Structure 1
């Protein structure tokens, strides 16, 4: 097919490299970090992403790790349910589970699909020429027929291709993430006044926890112990097992980061021989659990069009046509949920919770129906 160079070895970049390699491209992945060991966090692989990963042969290996069973949904801080469904109902509706697992597991599987020598660590990219495919790196100049920029939310390639486009903006919430040992937890998000706490059981008797708070950008503590103390202060009165999970967290492994998104979509996801993918193309809040899933979709669709169209330029134009409308809708929908979780006023929070509760009374499929447009996606076929 030709030479493809992928910038960034995150979930999207590795998926793109694996998908292109399976279609006959000679692939090089440039990663500026010294390793691809990801941060200690969890990841949700939804049915749409599982189908995408089927095309490169690892969907079933992930399905084997599905740990989500029984009731799941949104709870009050007292523990009562606002809205609930079940893992079994989701699998019946979409034909696939939602797999919750360590991000490191997905990275390991994807890295194992790369040809020997394809991954170049400690290799930063400094400049990309969209018309020629020339890429200047720490290791010298490279040239590719296709360049895939998967260089994250602060993508330097995006800024170079679309100078002046609005950068991602602070969503109004900061987030904590950590994994603790344990089993038997019920999958749920608990919503309070400007606060959210998520509990997700993982395979291997572990629980992935995440929390968000509506605070100013840049807020936080430099000392990990103080960061954990902040979590305890905010969530110590919430229903079990939330306080106990926070107590078990290793302060050194609690990750805190502000949440950004880009609701103003790019005019295109490509220019010349360069395609943008994942957070480089459409940064989104995590409220739909679709950040990594949409990057995986991007990668599979990009490999499909770049390989099946008459030219790389035609393939990238088709990629933009496919991906831009879908990801724009998901970015905006996810941001709208973030705005709901940021509410702090007693009256507005009561109204929000009342609407969620009334919707939940219509049955366990009410929450699932809202996800149909996202989860029912299927990868393109030749």
Structure 2
């Protein structure tokens, strides 16, 4: 069980009384190291906190949850992100290697949902090895979050403060006030908004409501993890089954389990009548036998559902407001199709820590702002492209219908056009996309992450079927 600080730790707490300005003016004396407040203790927030602590910063993480409880299924840590976590501290990658499963040592592919025919296959291991990057792994999100939290606490036992939601901030010449939901104020040199797609920090920075400007993707997503091992698990780790305005994703996540996602084109806020699994079985009736087998292997209580939202890149508004900066989903939420949402947050964390690491302990307001601008310049273009690629991928999958329709209609209309374009883009351009994604941002690599021990797949499959 992890222990977390429950009292204010950054600056001197000050409760705001009725009628008092929310931005009290006070001087901050020069300190031995710069103080950084992080709004949000998710994966990106913990990663940037750990990286900054490594560089000698005084860091406090403000997490709104009362404690870190197991939440969320497995998550991909792709090669580009895994290399950065290794460079921050090898204990992180050792934990991922020990607790997770390598998927980059096998191919991924796309199939037609009805015919079960392969649309295309692609290799994620080759571009990683070409850049001297570790292979992509999947790990249960709670285990990854625990590893990151332990890394932060090992450097600063009271760095994480739970039950502390950041609701706003006030910039001053020599510091930024961090405003908490309970009415107290903390002081820091820099505030990092890592508080997710509905970020309060971003909302204030851009002068809008936290839930405004997000666009509904058109997709409602069902997801769960179940006990299941496919016949080709030793060759294929990740599959997408395509259909008309819906698709199904299945990924091996180790320990005889599969994580699956069902994406359906539905209006926002659509309700599912009755059991979710019964509804999904009917929606995917007649599809690949594997899809139905996976649904049948799933417990009803394990299924989660949500609408998917994203935002266009903040071209005009940016990520910076004097001493305040955005990171992760607060800056660039994206569709999950490329599995790069969390990976981009890790890249942000690494780059921001590197930029701030160039500052001295008595850095001026201009120097702090310049460091944040360096971070934004390095990250904005890349994340905008990844956002666009994820959205384009979603659109192409949404318009797929050629093989699913069949007959004469399979060769007529816009469905054929989009399916053909999609086949060319995905099949022919996926190596180029992976080359772009799998960039080695580490200036000096000192060692290679040990690959997860290869499972005895025949044994795993036999065990899974027995269970």
Task: Indicate the structure (1 or 2) with the bigger Cα radius of gyration.
Answer: 2
Whole-Å Cα distance in 2 between the matches of residues 38 and 367 of structure 1?
34
- In the alignment, does 2:239 pair up with 1:239? no
User: 126, 129, 143: which is aligned to 2:170?
Assistant: 129
User: What is the TM-score normalised by the length of structure 2?
Assistant: 0.75
Q: Could you tell me which residue of structure 1 aligns to residue 146 of structure 2?
A: 108
Q: Distance in 2 between matches of 1:270 and 1:340?
A: 33
Q: Tell whether 2:117 aligns with 1:83.
A: no
Q: How does 1:163-174 map to 2 (within 5 A)?
A: 163-164=207-208, 167-174=213-220
Q: 1:342 to 1:380 in 2, by over 3 A?
A: same
CA distances 1:307-347 after superposition (whole Å, capped 9, x unpaired): 21453222111111111111111111211111112226654
Mind listing any 5+ residue stretches in structure 1 that lack a counterpart?
A: none
In the alignment, is the contact (CA less than 8 A) between 1:74 and 1:83 conserved in 2? yes
SS at match of 2:151: coil
Residues 1:202 and 1:139: Cα distance change in structure 2 (over 3 Å): farther
Match of 2:453 in 1: none
Q: How many residues align?
A: 377
TM-score normalized with structure 1 length: 0.91
1:118 aligns with 2:173: no
**RMSD (Å) for aligned C-alpha atoms:** 2.4
CA shift, 1:67, in A, is 3.2
Runs of 4+ in 1 over 6 A off after TM superposition: 359-362
Q: Check 1:70–1:321 CA distance in 2 against 1; reply closer, same or farther (3 A cut).
A: closer
Q: Is the 8 A contact 1:82 1:356 kept in 2?
A: no
In the other structure, the counterpart of 1:263 is 312
Select between 328-337 and 161-170 the one with higher mean Cα deviation: 161-170
Residue in structure 1 matched with residue 399 of structure 2 by the alignment: 343
Once the two structures are TM-superposed, the CA of residue 71 in structure 1 deviates from its matched residue by 3.1
- How far apart, CA to CA, are the structure 2 residues paired with 1:70 and 1:136? 47
Asked if 1:13 is matched to 2:45, the reply is: yes
State whether structure 2 residue 278 is matched by structure 1 residue 229.
yes
Q: 2:184 is matched with which residue?
A: 140
Q: Distance in 1 between matches of 2:318 and 2:38?
A: 18
Q: Give the counterpart of 2:136 among 98, 114, 121.
A: 98
The 1-side partners of 2:52 and 2:377 are apart by: 19
Q: CA deviation at 1:127?
A: 2.3
**Counterpart-to-counterpart distance in 1, 2:205 and 2:83:** 31
Structure 1 partner of 2:462: none
Distance 2:379 2:200 in 1: 21
Deviations 1:152-207 (A, max 9, x none): 10111111011159712111111112111233444211111111111111122221
